[in-house]
Chain A
Amino acid sequence: MATLTLSHITKRFGRNVVAVKDFSLEVQDREFLVLLGPSGCGKTTTLRMIAGLEEVTSGTIEIDGVDVTDLPPRRRDVSMVFQNYAVWPHMTVYENIAYALKLKRMDKQTIDRIVRESTAMTKIDELLDRYPSQLSGGQQQRVAVARAIAVKPKLFLLDEPLSNLDAKLRVATRTELKAIHDKTEATTVFVTHDQAEAMSLADRIVIMKDGEVVQIGSPDDVYHRSVDMFVGDFIGTPPTNFMDVELTVDGGESRLVSPHFDYPLDPETASKLKDYEKKELVLGVRPENIVLVPEEDAVLSAECLVSEPQGSHQIIAIELGDKIVKIVAPAYPKIGAGETVHLTFKRDTLCFFDEESGSRICE
């Protein structure tokens, strides 16, 4: 159980490549923190620096208030699950876990007890004599997790541990990982590029792009209060819909005007946006915040391009200009391609972004 503090971490490869840039973060005791971002954003490099597998160019890393920046991995008291599991192929499942414990100089009885405990927790206690080559990908992944929790580390680091599993197993294992975290209460840093995984596991999500932190917040924060268009687009399936609009003030009334619709704003929102009068804005609306309404209440009407039934709901795609806008609608009534849909936006759910910088306006 421990806290982790990263202060102004920078990592350069060679002279020109900056993998991580001025990264600062505090991870609380028992927190489940997820580093999320597209590939090449520096999230794995950050994790490897925490583990000590990558040297830090500048900045400091502290675990429980102790500066570990220049310590080798073995003296940091962390454990790690690798993307390719890194289960040692010449050792049985039992030996894999026992060897990790042996490196901590434990005696044989203790090792045996802990191996049995941790394998029971990960449900691989019947595979102890198998070699990794005789296991499926999912089972190997469990061995890696069992090995990592067996050593009872201060910090539990996971580098895309689910990305090599098939979709169904990934979701099931995700749930189990969360249960294991609740049981062990280890401070956890989890790296992934899968936003659904991040949303379902994290206490807090750190969204990274090009080596820099874009937003740190709870799953609700990053979803509903995306700090910029990148986050709005990266989080959520389907992602946020972005539409170019212009703010016009006519007398006391503010309106959002686009070639496709004309939406009256409530005074409160309008006052927040008053600096952007007559300027181009980007309106961001989550797909579930565009709702089907009777024709007379509609802000915009459009022809349904494609509808994707999902069982519990359906995803309707419409075309506004050259942009595809996706709407999450109730499963019934079924809407077919070519049908005209009448839509409006839910109040208080609209986000606005600066067209140039892409960052969020107001709030």
Chain B
Amino acid sequence: MTERRQVNIAKSARTTVFYIFVIGIAAIILLPVYFIISLSFLSTREAYTYPLPLVPALNTHFELRHGERGYLLSVYDRVEGGYESVLDTKDSKKMSEYMRYQLATPVTTEDLEQQFAKLESQDVVRFSRRRNLLENYQSFFRVSGYKAVPALIRSLQICALTIAISLSVGGMAGYAFARYTFRGKNLLKFSTLFVRMFPGVAIAIPMIKILVGLQFYDRPIGLSLVYSIGNIALTVWITASIFMGIPESLEEAAQVFGATKARAFLRITLPLALPGLAAAAMYSFLGAWNETVSAIILTQFNPTFSVIVYQTVLGAVGQVNLAAAGGMAMALPTVIFTFFIRRYIQQMWGGITI
């Protein structure tokens, strides 16, 4: 009996250690993500308080008194537990702007005038207004001078083009590597990876020269060509292993039963390869979406979204919350795309393993 108890203790000890480990890893990965998400919703004032609030306030509590220069505005501080004076002015427009940009709380000048009027009869006026949680995101797009939206569309175009080019060229090459034997096959397969050895910055000048010659400079097609070069190599390797995993006889069977080679490929092999192709598409998307260095060099008046984010983050000194919002705007599409394509990767026809 004691032996069995010892075994049980050892077993639960192992389980405990395992979960501590897993939770530890999850915390290491998730905490920074959590901080950047929460930071992107904080007001500028909140973002520079210490300790940093874990969640943004939903309402801002204001207090108005008579001040030396006009009206003294105080804001309730959750950490200190009291009101702290922040601004002394009689200009309602200036106060409204301060409330909006620093406190992320939209209060109209009319509203403020009414509150000022109340001070005629009483010493202190207290009121609360709802926070605009998306203020940082709105101001991110405002600060980037409305270049962000066209840049976002441009980036999506580049991603789509990159996926189309690398998946069609790389997929076809992958199929050939999987199905046919020819002289120099292995060398050729390895050589697809050689192009990835060159850092984009190192070969930027010749790239610009070539793209200008093609009249592709500063256009989505130019950047997607550059991104495709690296992605084709990855796609070749991913799709080749996928096609190798699909028995050739499946296609041959379709041919024997009356399909042309093309039809057999489209109806039999392609659906079976879809999860692998989706994975390859995901890699292409992430690569093209996140790339910044080449994009800075190879664009001039038509930057990509990553360039805009980069510039905003650089320019947003003293506004770490704005930088966080930019980062989130950058990360969100990749998260959505990965989530969407995850279904295909997990898709297994009735739990089939090929």
Contacts and interface: CB of A to CB of B under 8 A. Distances in A.
Interface residues of B, number: 23
Nearest to A151: B257
B247 A147 contact: no
Contacts of A103: 254, 257-259
A247 B106 CA distance: 118
Contacts of B267: 99
Interface string A122-135: 00000000111110
Given A89-B349, A131-B352, A82 B258 contact: no
Contacts, number: 76
B252 interface: yes
Interface stretch (A71-79, A220-228, A270-278): A71-79
* Interface core residue of A72, A132, A147 (most chain B CB under 10 Å): A72
Interface string A289-308: 00000000000000000000
B203 interface: no
A320 interface: no
Nearest to B347: A90
B260 A86 contact: no
A79 B257 contact: yes
B252 A72 contact: no
B351 A84 contact: no
B353 interface: yes
Contact of B354 (A72, A78, A89, A151): A89
A80 interface: yes
Interface in A17-35: none
B250 interface: yes
A257 interface: no
Interface string B260-295: 110000011001100000000000000000000000
A198 interface: no
A53 interface: yes
Interface in A44-92: 51-53, 72-74, 78-80, 82-84, 86, 88-90
A286 to B, nearest CB: 38
Nearest to A80: B256
A90 B271 CA distance: 8
B186 interface: no
A350 interface: no
Given A86-B250, A90-B271, A131 B256 contact: no
A74 B255 contact: yes
Nearest to B263: A103
B256 A53 contact: yes
B349 A131 contact: yes
A361 interface: no
From DSSP, what is the main secondary structure of chain B's interface residues? helix
B210 to A, nearest CB: 40
A74 B249 contact: no
Given A72-B260, A74-B258, A103-B259, A86 B253 contact: yes
B350 A133 contact: yes
A100 interface: yes
Interface in A143-201: 147, 151
A104 interface: yes
A89 B250 CA distance: 9
Contact of A88 (B250, B256, B350): B250
A89 B252 CA distance: 14
Nearest to B267: A99
Given A90-B271, A90-B272, A74 B260 contact: yes
A72 B247 CA distance: 20
A151 B271 CA distance: 24
B255 A73 contact: yes
B351 A80 contact: no
B4 to A, nearest CB: 38
Given A72-B260, A74-B258, A103-B258, A82 B349 contact: no
Contact of A53 (B255, B271, B352): B255
Interface string B44-64: 000000000000000000000
Contacts of B352: 89-90, 131-133
Contact of A104 (B253, B258, B268): B258
A104 B256 CA distance: 11
Contacts of A100: 257-258
Given A89-B349, A89-B352, A103-B257, 5 more contacts: A83-B249, A88-B253, A99-B254, A132-B352, A133-B353
Interface of A: 51-53, 72-74, 78-80, 82-84, 86, 88-90, 99-100, 103-104, 130-134, 147, 151
Interface of B: 247, 249-250, 252-261, 267-268, 271-272, 349-354
19 contacts: A51-B252, A51-B256, A53-B252, A53-B255, A72-B255, A74-B255, A86-B249, A86-B252, A90-B271, A90-B349, A103-B257, A103-B259, A104-B257, A104-B258, A131-B349, A132-B352, A133-B352, A151-B257, A151-B258
